[in-house]
Amino acid sequence: MTGRLVLATRNAHKVAELQRILAGLDIELVGLDEYPDVPDVAETESTFAGNALLKARAVAQATGLPAVADDSGLCVDALNGMPGVLSARWSGAHGDDAANLQLVLAQVRDVPSARRGAQFVCAAAYVDPAESEFVVEGALEGTLAEAPRGSHGFGYDPIFVPDGYAVTTAELRPEEKDAISHRGHAFRALAQVLRGDS
């Protein structure tokens, strides 16, 4: 693909991350800061893929340009896959990372380490108003630590230990985390499709 691609976020870090991943494509990637009149889209679907598509469709319709959106979260085995799509507002207030993290820790306090499995999941959706749409997903398997560790990352990173690691994702350097993360997997898969590699 060529031309302008809109990422359905006002988060400059997400825009920069996707710019790195899509390097080599003949596109101009911009965030919603370029389109201040586009309203925020409520995440009302019951799946990550549904929410990502909802946002990408809304942005593509509002701008008339191809759009990319993602939705991601933490799925805890002992909590039947929750908080899942409710990850950002698990404690009630949207985006209160510390409260969300503490609530999950409290909910698994008595769960033995062998049953503290969890996954970070990300769905990335692409919508071209003139052509097509698709969704790709990425996941990172791991376990929950008993207490937060590390100062990098955000959200549930301080309590998530990826399989094969002894440290949390908040203890990894950003480039190490990007190489294995659910978002990294999803956006690299998205880049492959946009390049025509798959």
> Where does residue 168 rank: exposed (0-12), middle (13-18), buried (19+ CB within 10 A)?
buried
3-state secondary structure of 188: helix
CB 66 within 8 A of CB 43: no
Residues 6+ apart with CB under 8 A from 83: 73, 74, 75, 76, 90, 100, 104
Polymer length of the chain: 198
* 112 preceded by a cis bond (ω within 30 of 0): no
The tokens for 28 are: 């101009």
Residues identified as active-site: 71
In the chain, the DSSP E strands lie at: 2-7, 26-31, 67-76, 82-83, 117-127, 133-144, 160-162
Q: For residue 42, which phi and psi values (nearest 5 degrees)?
A: -70, 135
